[in-house]
Structure 1
Amino acid sequence: MQDDNYVKILFQFYSDIFEEEMVETMWATILDNDKGLYRLDNIPFYAPLVASEDIVFAEFDEQQQMLTYRKTVEYSGNSTIQIVLMDKTKDINSIRKMFEELGCVSEKVNDGYFSMEVPALVDYKFIKQKLDELEKKEIIGYAEPCLSDQHKII
């Protein structure tokens, strides 16, 4: 990454899972520094309601001493799914590969947790079926902290 095209943005949020205030930093490309507009270049590990390629407004926060997320300006249509491995006899990388073959990319946090992006153009119906199947078998647990409108199944 070239430092002059990328910035780190701080996200502050309350986690229902951890029941505490949390912070996460993500890389973003600069769209318009003067207007505070940036495109997220990471799959969020924990931050809710944002996905990679979303355009966000961020400004320098004196207290935090860094660029800090304020709001999402334009949604990419991508969704973020958080997946926890419940069955420790299973290999997390094989589960990630299964979803990769369905068109999803992911970033592993550790051997028990990864965050996955469902791109805007991928049909979520098949992804959701696989997630539900694995959850029913108690292999994984999952959350949908950022589900785009086109991925919402009614």
Structure 2
Amino acid sequence: MDNQDVKILFKFFSNVLDEWTVETMWAETINAEKGLYKLSNIPFYASVSCDDIVFAEYDQDEERLVYRKTIEHSGNSTIQVVVVNKEIPANDLREVFNDFGCESEKFNEGYFVIEIPAKVDYTPIRQKLIELEEQEIIYYSEPNLSNNHFYE
């Protein structure tokens, strides 16, 4: 194993932003020769999750590693949250989900992402998301919901 941290560029259409965008993510090198990397942080927009193993290769035009495909899903899920009630601080909302055992990363006061670990039951978390959305506190989306967290 190489265990070297690298940045990988993701290029994709964001439904949240409604435009083509780019995002870079940190990843641990699993096997540089084979282009295998394990994502180290929660994505703000890309439809992947922390700990996913991805294939990336060096792109001459971009002058960096560029994501090509996901090789192995971690089982973690990523939830995007837009704070619509500006009277409630994003950090207060993040703490609610932290109590469920979910880490999050804040982009700004109006937007953060939540990582749902593979072994955590998504049902009560989803109920809380629905409740907050019905109260017009947030809007949320599930850009990368793992098989562990599917619902009907």
Give the alignment's TM-score, normalised by structure 1.
0.95
2:10·2:46 contact (CA, 8 Å) conserved in 1? yes
Match of 1:90 in 2: 88
Q: Which residue among 104, 107, 110 is the counterpart of 1:106?
A: 104
**Residue 16 of structure 1: how far off its partner (Å):** 2.3
Match of 2:26 in 1: 27
Match of 1:120 in 2: 118
Q: Which amino acid aligns with 1:22?
A: T
> What are the superposed Cα offsets for residues 84-125 of structure 1, whole Å, 9 maximum, x if unpaired?
111011111111001000010000001111011000000000
Runs ≥4 in structure 1, deviation > 4 angstroms? none
Q: Which amino acid aligns with 1:137?
A: Q
Structure 1 residue runs without a partner (length 5+): none
Q: Which amino acid aligns with 2:58?
A: F
SS at structure 1 position matched to 2:115: strand
**Residue 17 of structure 1: how far off its partner (Å):** 2.7
Match of 1:17 in 2: 16
Q: Within 1, Cα distance between the matches of 2:20 and 2:86? A: 28
Q: Which amino acid aligns with 2:4?
A: N
More moved, 4-13 vs 34-43: 4-13
Q: Within 2, Cα distance between the matches of 1:62 and 1:35? A: 17
**Residue 29 of structure 1: how far off its partner (Å):** 0.2
SS at structure 2 position matched to 1:38: strand
Match of 1:80 in 2: 78
Match of 1:40 in 2: 39
Q: Within 1, Cα distance between the matches of 2:106 and 2:80? A: 10
2:16·2:45 contact (CA, 8 Å) conserved in 1? no
Aligned-CA RMSD value: 0.9
Q: Within 2, Cα distance between the matches of 1:110 and 1:18? A: 14
Structure 2 residue runs without a partner (length 5+): none
2:8·2:64 contact (CA, 8 Å) conserved in 1? yes
Q: Within 2, Cα distance between the matches of 1:20 and 1:90? A: 27
Aligned residues: 150
SS at structure 2 position matched to 1:13: strand
Q: Which amino acid aligns with 1:93?
A: N
